[in-house]
Amino acid sequence: MTHFLKDILRQPEELQRAILLLAGANRAGRGALDAAAEAIRGARHVYLTGIGSSWHAALNVGAMFHQHGHPVYLLDADELLRFAAFPKDSAMIIISRSGKSTEIVQLERSARRHRRAHQVRSRHFREHVYNARAGDRNAGEFGGW
């Protein structure tokens, strides 16, 4: 069985874990998710990015933002990394299955270095970072930078 198929087959269980993390008895992740949402709501500029299939997911997420009257800048992660400057009051949403591709890692470092962008990712809650990789057994862990 391929890793891709394993990820697909784990999705129902992982979605249940995410729901419990956000809405379960202890609601452990809700505060961090609310803080991330507030950072996005308060940002004058919101960037939405990904690479590969995550970029295709970002395109659909971007359409939802636009439907609700919240325009976002949609740029492929490599283009965003190489050609964009992040103004103050920016938020960045990075969609990534693994969080390990070169462009995603470099983009995250760049955003942190400039301290101009809150990041909402998918694997761990870290400040304004939420990261819940598909099929990741570690999803929901908490940690600092």
> What CATH number labels 3-120?
3.40.50.10490
**19-43 per-residue burial string, b: 16 or more CB within 10 A, e: under 16:** eebbeeeeeebeebbebbeebbeeb
Average pLDDT, the chain: 75
- Distance, in Å, from the CA atom of 1 to the CA atom of 71, rounded to the nearest integer, reads 40
81-92 confidence digits (pLDDT tens): 888 877 888 888
103-130 confidence digits (pLDDT tens): 988 888 877 776 554 444 444 434 334 4
User: 91 Cβ partners below 8 Å, 6+ apart?
Assistant: 39, 40, 42, 43, 45, 46, 47, 117, 118, 119, 120, 128
- Percent of the chain surpassing pLDDT 70: 77
Domain chopping of the chain, boundaries: 3-120
